[in-house]
Amino acid sequence: TPFEFSMKDNYKLTYFNIRGRAEPIRMLFRLAGVQFEDRRIELEEWPKMKNKTPFGSLPLLEYNHEQLGQSQAITRYLATRFGLSGRTPLEEAQVDAFADCIVDFLNAIDEFHLVACGLQPGSKGELYERSFCPARDKLFTVMQKQLKKNGSGWLVGSSITSVDIQLACVLKQMLDESGRGEDEILRGFGTIGEHQNKVHSHPRLAPYIESRPKSQF
C-alpha cells in the first residue's frame, strides 16, 4: 500500500543534463503523475555541490527539507510512495531482486561505460566483447525467463512497476553506448525489446519519451 502523499508535495531531483541513473526516477514521477522540479546541472557546477550531498554523488532527491541520495534508494522510496513497487510484500521483494540484477549489470560494464562515454581511454570494441556481451547475456537471460514465466507483459505481477522502467532504461543505454543496432543487441532476446515497447507506449510515459531532452547517454 503506498504511503499517503499530496499532489502538492514539493520534490526536487538534481542530476546532470543526461539520462543516466536519474532517468528511471524521472519516469517514475511521470508514471505516477506527480510534479517535481527536474534540476539538470552542468559538469562545471558539480564540484561546488559535491560536499553538500549525502554521499558525494548524484542523483539527489530533496523532499520536505530532507535529502536522499543513491539512485536505487530514491527509486525504491518513490516506487513505494506511488504504489509502483509491487502489490504484496513478495512482489516488492521480487521487484528489488530484479532491480539488483540490473545494478549487477551496470557494475559489470562500468569500464565499458566509461570508455563508450569518452570518460576514460580504452578499446570500446575489446570491452564490448569481453565485458559488455557476457553481462548483457546474463541479464537478458534472467529477465526474458521472468517475462515469459510471469505472462502479464510486466516483470512482476499484473501491472507496471519501477523495475519495468529500469529495464527499459538500461536497454536504451545499451543501444546508445554500444552503437550497435537492435538486431544485434537483442539477438535471441526479442521479448526484452517487446517489453521496452510496452513500457515506452504506456499512456503516461509515451509523451515524455517523445519529448524528453536528447542526450548522449
Mean pLDDT per 10-residue run, the chain (217 residues)? Answer: 52 94 96 95 93 94 93 96 96 97 96 89 94 97 98 97 98 93 95 97 95 80
pLDDT at 1: 35
pLDDT given at position 173? 93
pLDDT value at position 4? 45
* Cβ 14 vs Cβ 25: under 8 Å: no
Give the pLDDT confidence score for residue 8 in this predicted structure: 56
| DSSP designation for 58 | S
Beta-strand runs (E) in the chain:
11-16, 37-41, 60-63, 66-69
- pLDDT the model gives residue 117: 85
As a whole number of angstroms, the longest Cα–Cα distance in the chain is 50
Are 41 and 17 in contact by the 8 Å Cβ rule? The answer is yes
